[in-house]
Amino acid sequence: MSETELQGDGHSSLVINNKKLLMWLFLGSDCMFFGTLISTHLIYRKLYPESYDPLLVFDLELTSFSTFILLMSSFLMALAVSAMHKGELKSFRRNTIGVIFFGLIFLACQVYEFAHFTNEGLTLSTNTFGSTFYMMTGTHGVHVAIGVFWLICLYFYSYTGKMDAHESAVDVEVAGLYWHFVDIVWIIIFTAVYLIEYIPGLH
Amino acid sequence: MSQTETEIHAPSTTQAPKTHELKPEPSQLGFMRPDHSKSVIMDWLTTVDHKKIGIMYGAIALFFLLVGGVEALIIRTQLAIPENDLISAQRYNQLFTMHGTTMIFLAIMPLNAAFFNFLVPLQIGARDVAFPRINSFSLWAFVAGAIVINFGWVLQALQVMGLFEASGPTAGMTDLAPAMGWFGYAPLTGTNFTGAGTDFWIMGLQILGIASLSAAMNFVVTIVNMRAPGMKMMRMPVFTWMTLVVSLLIVFAFPAITIALGQLMFDRCFGTNFFVVAGGGQPILWQHLFWIFGHPEVYILVLPAMGIISEILPVFSKKPLFGYSIVVFSGAVIGFLGFAVWSHHMFTTGLGKVATAAFSLLTMAIAVPTGVKIFNWIGTLWGGRVRFSAPMIFSLGFVWMFMMGGFSGIMHSSAPADAQQQDSYFVIAHFHYVAIGGIFLAVVAGIYFWLPKMIGKMWKGNLSTWVAIFSTVGLNVTFFPMHFLGLLGMPRRTHTYLEGFGWETYNLVCTIGAYILAFGIFLLVVDIIRCFRKGEPAGNDPWDARTLEWATSSPPKVYNFAKTPIIPARDALWEDKYGPENRKVTYEDDHGHGIHMPSQSWMPFIAALGFIPVGLGMSLMQAGVPYMGYVAIFGLLVLGFGIALWAIEGPGGYHMHPEVDAA
Ligand code: HEM
Ligand SMILES: [Cu+2]
């Protein structure tokens, strides 16, 4: 039984499942969250082009690697969702573990990156670049961490025997929507915050 | 209440396999769910019933309306005569800050939420909202935010009594209640300018934002997915439409302020430089972020009021709403354009010619759909058989008074004119005409219209006429002179003024008006109490109304409709009463399956309660109280714990068989 069962009472206007619609709305809202964070970063970057040179700390290889890992995790997530739709629990678990593992690698890279930057003297309060950079990537990291935690819960839940190809597939799909979104946001951040700094003569 | 439910249940055991005897059933956690039939308090704390949640929103909001009103009266008393020293400048700052914050976030928004909650599921023929437990969470998170934001007053009182002294990051600061205006402009919000009051404000607003966001998403899903069969989008009552638009506005406008508040909190707690000028921060960024939220917010406040009016005018004119689809469409256009005009609050900051001209034009454009609505309301009245019952009197007041506020709005959409009006009493006049003359009158109209449905009792006597007279006269006497005060150059947010500028008489008149208005609100409270105590049974449809909520009993049963209605047309109840045979409301056969009802739960309440230690802990930490960081972490744990148990316990649910009720 689930919260969505309320609509089982003969309501005909149903177009999209309640939980999925709720997630879409949350993601719409989340777009605005990240939009605000990323624009704050870009505005200050444009305002003070000379104040700080991010290339002093950026490590393109590492960040490209973690971006690639996150992309691959999205791929596994899609496999997990489709496995759940077919009711193949084993394959669902295998792929979910993969997503969790890749998510953790991404987080580890981020922790390493933050530690490295701090060692190089860039902290939250060094300048506006530090403030906007840490807050934006930190918020994204928190999103990834929540996603990993959520998937771990689903993974263990799959051993209770209460998962079925019907209702639980929706739950997994909703988690998948979230995961893909977090991935897309990272690709935008990677482009607009990291890659852009490598364009010669931009600043 | 619970007794009738058990009665309904007892005979049905034979026909349904999944019977529920309203005894609490075990959740997936193995615990029992709350036994709401035992204790009234437990029933209300754990309820997931949208009607009870709506009533709680309404009661708490009315309480804060009175609190904000008292704050306003103190402000006006201080300003009655020049060079008055009733209160200090600092106290004055705190009062106008908390007055604005309270009225907007703790009075009007929850009053609107009260109507959303009570009415929307009834108007669309649903059992409840899509996510009943999230609904309960939104209510309690709102309460937690209200407590956090007002806690500054307690600390301030302790400080005045000499029992508390701020240390730590805000050492030496004496503003322990918020004191930087409801818009919290940087750099006033920096730790070098204001004390822990700002932290209470940040944390409180952040929690209120979470409450609003979760409620808004819930309502969008409800309106999109939970409509009864036949209730097509263009058959929905206008109030439901406006709820949808407002919910979408909240979903997309609140993130701007959430992030801005987060950045501000980081500035104050962790030394970032978002708005700190010395570190390169730009105060203007705050203004942009705040108004990107702030202008949609004013439409979040007013669109539900427009929805209420669009429901009441047709009922008391005995005519369908004139131009239904245009009213709906212009509501949506207002919502959409509302995102594109924020910089009209910043004309005097030097945006540049192009930007100023563009925002000026867009602001003028937004008056067009507003005007369209006003013409449609007048068109509804035109040729109708008008009854001047209480809800109608207030609605007519709304149309006129709101229009006055719109006129001054258009005046400051012109940037050169606004350069004179900005930050003067003229702006105060503008937004109080839209807020009191508009939203407040509409909400009162709504209370007069729907309270009989909510509590099942009909108003007694004609006190409502006096409420209308005192509040409308009071509002005009208070705010009309402020136009002149503003044009004479009296600035906003100053705690006193010198003699000789020609401001004395106007100010005295304004203060007298404020007391007249306050008396009107006092009469309203008296009238509501009288209705509760002496009102006679209202019957299902006391006003000869048009929409579906009047088809159920007053007050409606927990399950709203015994059988799911099938909606053949707009104005469903009206068609059912007076329309042709093929437009009558029919009911779905449930084949003995009964009604699926959601179970009550403690978890949303517990989770939301966690916000209180989070908010108070973070703020008190800033004031140097020891161990408060741990309190904040404890709050987060409570929140997480609540949500985890919430997920595990499962929504549950039970079945009811109300057809026995009819027999
Ligand atoms: C015809 C529609 C409207 C127009 C053209 C309009 C225009 C404006 C403008 C240009 C300002 C900035 C004035 C200044 O600070 O110099 C303003 C302020 C304000 N308006 Fe409106 N407005 C309209 C309707 C509303 C409505 C419906 C509400 C709310 C319920 C509202 C609430 C406010 C508030 C609260 C402020 C003051 C904010 C502050 O500075 O604290 N307005 N309006
Ligand atoms: Cu505005």
For residue B192, what is the DSSP state? T
Do the Cβ atoms of B439 and B301 come closer than 8 Å?
Answer: yes
pTM: 0.93
A118 vs B: CB within 8 A: no
Q: Do B213 and A131 touch (CB under 8 A)?
A: no
Residue B659 is predicted with a pLDDT of 59
Q: Is residue B575 part of a domain?
A: yes
The residues that bridge with B587 in the sheet, in sequence order, are B565
Q: Is the CB of B103 under 6 A from ligand 1?
A: no
Q: Is residue A156 part of a domain?
A: yes
Q: Is the pLDDT of residue B353 over 70?
A: yes
Q: Is residue B608 part of a domain?
A: yes
Q: Is residue A65 part of a domain?
A: yes
Q: How many CA atoms lie within 13 A of A181 on its CB side?
A: 21
Residue B20 is predicted with a pLDDT of 42
Lowest average pLDDT, out of A37-46, B19-28, B209-218, B603-612, goes to B19-28
Peptide bond into B187 cis (omega under 30): yes
Q: Is residue A5 part of a domain?
A: no
CATH of the domain at A105: 1.20.120.80
Report DSSP letters for B142-163, one per residue: HHHHHHHHHHHHHHHHHHHTTS
Q: Is the pLDDT of residue B631 over 50?
A: yes
Lowest average pLDDT, out of B164-173, B292-301, B361-370, B383-392, goes to B164-173
Q: Do B131 and A3 touch (CB under 8 A)?
A: yes
Q: Could you tell me the pLDDT band of residue B224, with boundaries at 50, 70 and 90?
A: very high
Q: Which domain holds residue A129?
A: 15-49+58-198
Residue A163 is predicted with a pLDDT of 83
Alpha-carbon gap: B235 to the closest alpha carbon of chain A (Å): 13
Residue where the block lists tokens 């402009």 = B185
Residue B555 is predicted with a pLDDT of 93
- Mean pLDDT throughout B228-235? 93
- Mean pLDDT throughout B597-617? 93
Tokens representing B136 are: 């309960």
Task: Provide the domain count of chain B.
Answer: 1
Q: Is the pLDDT of residue B90 over 80?
A: yes
Alpha-carbon gap: A9 to the closest alpha carbon of chain B (Å): 7
Helix/strand/coil (H, E, C) string of B491-508? ECCCCCCCCCCCCHHHHH
* Helix (H) / strand (E) containing B536: strand B536-537
Q: Is residue B535 part of a domain?
A: no
Q: Is residue B252 part of a domain?
A: no
Residue B28 is predicted with a pLDDT of 72
Q: Could you tell me the pLDDT band of residue B3, with boundaries at 50, 70 and 90?
A: very low
Q: Is the pLDDT of residue B511 over 50?
A: yes
Q: Do A124 and B285 touch (CB under 8 A)?
A: no
Residues of chain A found within 8 Å of residue B225, distances taken between Cβ atoms: 7, 11, 13-16, 18, 21
Q: Is the pLDDT of residue B626 over 80?
A: yes
Q: Is residue B146 part of a domain?
A: yes
Q: Is residue A6 part of a domain?
A: no
Task: Give B532-562 pLDDT, tens digit per residue.
Answer: 999 999 999 999 999 999 999 999 998 899 8
Q: Is the CB of B409 under 6 A from ligand 1?
A: yes
What average pLDDT does chain A have?
90
Task: Give B269-281 pLDDT, tens digit per residue.
Answer: 999 999 999 999 9
- Using CB atoms, pick whichever of B127, B218, B256 lies closest to residue A36: B256
Residue A11 is predicted with a pLDDT of 45
Q: Is the pLDDT of residue B24 over 70?
A: no
> In angstroms, rounded to a whole number, what is the distance separating the alpha carbons of residues A18 and B10?
33
Window 527-566 of B: residues touching A by CB (8 A cutoff) are 564
Interacting residues of B97 by C-beta distance below 8 A, sequence separation 6+: B177, B178, B179, B180, B181, B182, B197, B201
Q: Is the pLDDT of residue B384 over 60?
A: yes
- Residue B586 has φ and ψ, to the nearest 5°, of -110, 170
Q: Is residue A8 part of a domain?
A: no
- Residue A19 has φ and ψ, to the nearest 5°, of -65, -40
Residue A161 is predicted with a pLDDT of 82
- Using CB atoms, pick whichever of A8, A21, A30 lies closest to residue B221: A21
Q: Do B285 and A12 touch (CB under 8 A)?
A: no
Residue B260 is predicted with a pLDDT of 97
Task: Provide the domain count of chain A.
Answer: 1
Tokens representing B414 are: 């012109």
Q: How do B654-656 and B595-597 pair as beta strands? A: antiparallel
Q: How far is the CA of B430 from the centre of ligand 1 (A)?
A: 7
Q: Which domain holds residue B551?
A: 1-7+37-57+89-196+547-663
Tokens representing B203 are: 């944390």
Which of A20, A32, A133 to mutate against chain B (most B CBs within 10 Å)?
A: A32
Residue nearest to atom 30 of ligand 1 (CA): B298
Residue B650 is predicted with a pLDDT of 79
Q: In ligand 1, which atom is closest to the CA atom of B439? A: 30
For B465, B567, B650, the CA distances from B437, given in Å and listed in that order, are 16, 35, 45
Lowest average pLDDT, out of A25-34, A104-113, B587-596, goes to B587-596
Q: Is residue B244 part of a domain?
A: no
Task: Give B303-351 pLDDT, tens digit per residue.
Answer: 999 999 999 999 999 999 999 999 999 999 999 999 999 999 999 999 9
Q: Is the pLDDT of residue B203 over 80?
A: yes
Q: Is residue A84 part of a domain?
A: yes
Q: Is residue B283 part of a domain?
A: no
Residue B651 is predicted with a pLDDT of 78
Window 170-199 of A: residues touching B by CB (8 A cutoff) are none
- Mean pLDDT throughout B202-209? 97
Q: Quote the ipTM score.
A: 0.92
Residue B23 is predicted with a pLDDT of 56
Q: Is residue A9 part of a domain?
A: no
Q: How far is the CA of B470 from the centre of ligand 1 (A)?
A: 25
Q: Is residue A4 part of a domain?
A: no
